[in-house]
Structure 1
């Protein structure tokens, strides 16, 4: 028991910072936590009653799912109007947090069922909890950009000698930035200075006062900062830079499920993924509606920012074998560069929920 508690505590401490930050708070609350369906009665029932009893565990199931402010949750928000309209198969309790270190202990204690978190964080958490979570979908591809005041950076090599402001120490932004610097002949520890902040809003605030600021920011914060300061310029799209040196997908976020929950409720996970795909489709095609929801739920400060940023957020719902191939390829690149970035070693096949 002491060993398990130690492992869980170490997971929460190691995975302290998220790729996208903001203030925390619950978006909406479900009335009940997920529970196993009651054992069937031995008393005879009519076919109609039996059908109703069989449907109840799925349609009445509350799914407690957490996300972070920013793109990984922008693909989830359309689940809420589906729930309110009565067209959703599940009852969604969507909770919003500012950093991944708030989500990790809730997952490990069983107080959440699912979460949208950085991809390498999911791999690390899988290792630290001895398989207590599984990845079931890729939710966001590349969303990182280098932004500067001025017109001095036109390649990764131009970052030499500069101070780079960033969020996401220990998660996607740090490892992607370090990998790209190394692939372009720069030592991240000596050729540049990287200053990490816990929230993207802190980076944008620093950008506003610095003379020659350079930052790595995710969408929608790139759009937000540019709308507030027209002297900012998007210097590099890190997805394009990744594609120049690597033949794998750049993955920002994945959606994970507690392994015990998936084993107990495989039908709920399957129903969630179907509705999640519909929510992502709405995020990519109903910009006005999704942007309004993002502001309403606190995912993005303003609907205008969300609407402008959505086309650049690379929101997806990739599942099954394609998900496994993409995640494996991405994590292998990180692992080859630094095994600590994925928890010390590549996760085994138990990491992937394939239905």
Structure 2
């Protein structure tokens, strides 16, 4: 049990814890850029990025190992303990880019005079219901049972509400599903392993930790599949991790930002191609997770690279779910067109 807690203690819960579109518009924009290349009259002294401790930084870890130079502009990468630590750095200009939960990114944009813009989605949904009860095949099979949920006020919270409603299932009523937020996220897996609880809705890498420690614990429900069914659209995904850039920085240094985003894309691709190496780097650069857990969880973690325009429809769809249940969680309204980096 002590080992379980040590493995899990380093994991920061996702508090928030998604189909390309505008393809023609993207191609047209790329053609326009080729025809009219942007030339920066000056360059920044450095490009600084911060990621959150835990899963959000995994996709960027190759950049921690080899910080790129963007046509003469050096870069630096650091880890922040939480969004509450990262946000002031972004707003003060102490860092130029960061990864935030998508609803937090939207709220910052709306509440802080469009201080940041969404550059890309680096991670899609990775929620699962885990249990030893393999008779659970659908959400309806959880009726009359208690489901412990990680992250009240974040994506897991509003996602389970949305999915239950889409299937006509009552929550916290007799004969419905009882939702429990009483256990802190890092303690959910130990509670499941000890038999204190029987069903849990958790993000990666928690489900991987549970499966590694006890082979009888399995992912009985894949929330991505449930969400796609509820959307009624093939390929409907929900974004979790948003790469944002300070708007002023993006407007002043578009060439540097473009080179930076190309490097981020390659970084995510490298992680997906070689989870073992990524795990070693995550542990080396103290991103809060052990190498074996990262290596095992990456294939299930939905690390992606989707530009702002490619992901916009999925972003707006998920933010609409947040807006329905808790408008304040996204700043009171959906962000406007300026939120999406062109």
TM-score, with structure 2 as normaliser = 0.79
Instruction: Give 2:280's match in structure 1, choosing from 292, 295, 304.
Output: 292
2:53 corresponds to 1:65: no
Q: Once the 2 structures are TM-superposed, how far is the Cα of residue 263 of structure 1 from its aligned partner?
A: 2.3
Match of residue 179 from structure 1: 162
Matches of 1:156 and 1:274, distance apart in 2: 40
2:88 corresponds to 1:108: no
- The 3 A distance-change label for structure 1 pair 104 and 177 is farther
Matches of 2:15 and 2:197, distance apart in 1: 25
- The 3 A distance-change label for structure 1 pair 89 and 198 is farther
Matches of 1:228 and 1:330, distance apart in 2: 32
Instruction: Give 1:267's match in structure 2, choosing from 255, 261, 275.
Output: 255
Instruction: Give 1:192's match in structure 2, choosing from 154, 177, 201.
Output: 177
Tell whether the 8 Å contact from 1:149 to 1:212 is kept in structure 2 after alignment: no
For the residue of structure 2 that corresponds to 1:268, the secondary structure is helix
When the two chains are superposed, the root-mean-square deviation of aligned CA atoms in Å is: 2.7
Matches of 1:348 and 1:154, distance apart in 2: 39
Q: Once the 2 structures are TM-superposed, how far is the Cα of residue 258 of structure 1 from its aligned partner?
A: 1.9
For the residue of structure 1 that corresponds to 2:100, the secondary structure is strand
Matches of 1:205 and 1:92, distance apart in 2: 39
Instruction: Give 1:278's match in structure 2, choosing from 259, 263, 266.
Output: 266
Q: Once the 2 structures are TM-superposed, how far is the Cα of residue 124 of structure 1 from its aligned partner?
A: 1.9
Residue pairs, 1:113-128, within 5 angstroms:
113-128=96-111
- The 3 A distance-change label for structure 1 pair 171 and 90 is farther
For the residue of structure 2 that corresponds to 1:180, the secondary structure is helix
Matches of 2:109 and 2:70, distance apart in 1: 33
Match of residue 47 from structure 1: none
Instruction: Give 1:224's match in structure 2, choosing from 209, 218, 243.
Output: 209
2:301 corresponds to 1:318: no
After TM superposition, the structure 1 stretch with the greater mean CA deviation from structure 2, 72-81 or 236-245, is 72-81
For the residue of structure 2 that corresponds to 1:83, the secondary structure is coil
Unmatched 5+ stretches in structure 1: 1-15, 21-53
Match of residue 75 from structure 1: 59
Match of residue 26 from structure 1: none
Matches of 1:330 and 1:114, distance apart in 2: 22
- The 3 A distance-change label for structure 1 pair 136 and 195 is same
For the residue of structure 2 that corresponds to 1:353, the secondary structure is coil
For the residue of structure 2 that corresponds to 1:253, the secondary structure is strand
TM-score, with structure 1 as normaliser = 0.76
- The 3 A distance-change label for structure 1 pair 107 and 162 is farther
Q: Once the 2 structures are TM-superposed, how far is the Cα of residue 146 of structure 1 from its aligned partner?
A: 0.5
Matches of 1:188 and 1:352, distance apart in 2: 35
- The 3 A distance-change label for structure 1 pair 350 and 148 is same
- The 3 A distance-change label for structure 1 pair 294 and 147 is same
For the residue of structure 2 that corresponds to 1:235, the secondary structure is strand
Tell whether the 8 Å contact from 2:46 to 2:76 is kept in structure 1 after alignment: no
Q: Once the 2 structures are TM-superposed, how far is the Cα of residue 352 of structure 1 from its aligned partner?
A: 0.9
Match of residue 214 from structure 1: 199
Deviations 1:235-261 (A, max 9, x none): 101001101111332111111122222
- The 3 A distance-change label for structure 1 pair 339 and 65 is same
Match of residue 169 from structure 1: 152
Match of residue 133 from structure 2: 150
Tell whether the 8 Å contact from 2:134 to 2:218 is kept in structure 1 after alignment: yes
Unmatched 5+ stretches in structure 2: 1-12, 18-39
Query: Structure with the greater relative contact order (CA < 8 A, sep ≥ 6): 1 or 2?
Result: 2
- The 3 A distance-change label for structure 1 pair 73 and 192 is same
Deviations 1:281-337 (A, max 9, x none): 101112221121122223353222211111111111111421323322332344355
Match of residue 27 from structure 2: none
